[in-house]
Amino acid sequence: MIQVGVLLSGSGTNLQALIDACQGDFPARIAVVISNKEEAYGLERARAAGIPAIHVPHRGWGSRAAFEAKLSETLGEHGVQWVACAGFMRILSPAFLDQWPWRVLNIHPALLPSFPGMDGQGQALASGVRIAGASVHFVDSGTDTGPIVAQAATFVSPMDTRDDLVARILTMEHKLYPMCLRMAAEGRLQVKDGAAMVQLAHGEALLLLDPALLADPTQGA
C-alpha cells in the first residue's frame, strides 16, 4: 500500500475519482491533500473523506523555493511516496522535483504534446481537431513536457462549446488517473532514458477510448 499526496488548486473532481478508487481494492491511499488556494473545493472533498486537507499558500514565503520546501515538508510529514498533481496551478521547480525523483504525476486535459499549458480544451477546440483527450505524465521542470504514461481520447464535435468538451474530457480523466495511479502503486511505472516504462496488467491499455469514438458513422445519428 503506497501513500499518495495530492496537490490541487481547484474543484478536485480528479481527486474525487482517486478517493473513490481508493475505497475499493486499491494499492494506494491518499495520505494528504494540499492546495495553494484556501477556497479550493478539493480541500472540502478531502475533509469529507477524512483525509488531512492542508492549505499552503504560494505567496508570502519570499521565494518559490521556500513555498516548495513547505510543500515537500508537508508531504514528507504524511509519509507520502508518490505525488499526484490534480489541477495544481503552479510549476514545480527542479529543486522540488529532485526531492521526488520521478515520483510526481500530473493529469493534463489534452493529448500531449499538443496543447500544453493553460486551457488545453479551449486550444483543442480553437484548432479544429476532431479528437481530444487527456494525458497522465510524469512531471519534469517544463510545462506539461514530462514523459507520457497513458492517454484517454474522446471526440470533438463542431457543435461543442468549451464546457461540453471540458466535461467529456473530464469523464475520461476520471478513468485514466486511477488507472495510472494503480500502475505507480504496484511498482509497474518508471522512467528509463527519458521515457515512461509501464508493465501492463491484464486488461490494461495505455490508450483509453471514449466508447462514442467507436460509433459506426454509416449508422447515422
- Residue numbers of the site for ligand GRF (CB under 6 A)? 8, 10-14, 42, 86-87, 107-109, 134, 170, 173
Cβ of residue 68: shortest distance to ligand GRF, in angstroms?
Answer: 18
Which secondary structure element, helix H or strand E, spans residue 16, and what is its range? helix 13-23
Would you say 18 or 196 has its CB closer to ligand GRF?
A: 18
Q: Write out the three cell numbers for 31.
A: 495520505
- Minimal CB distance residue for ligand GRF: 87
Cβ of residue 192: shortest distance to ligand GRF, in angstroms?
Answer: 25
CA distance 205 to 80: 27
DSSP bridge partners of 8: 35
Would you say 42 or 146 has its CB closer to ligand GRF?
A: 42
Cβ of residue 107: shortest distance to ligand GRF, in angstroms?
Answer: 4
Q: Is-catalytic flag, 78?
A: no
- Sign of the CA dihedral with 159 first, then 163, 166, and 170 last: negative
Would you say 37 or 62 has its CB closer to ligand GRF?
A: 37
List the catalytic residue out of 58, 78, 108, 202: 108
φ and ψ of 122, to 5 deg: -65, -40
Would you say 11 or 81 has its CB closer to ligand GRF?
A: 11
Asked if 26 and 185 count as a contact pair (C-beta separation under 8 A), the reply is: yes
Cβ of residue 175: shortest distance to ligand GRF, in angstroms?
Answer: 13
Which secondary structure element, helix H or strand E, spans residue 32, and what is its range? strand 28-35
Asked if 147 and 195 count as a contact pair (C-beta separation under 8 A), the reply is: yes
Residues with catalytic function? 108
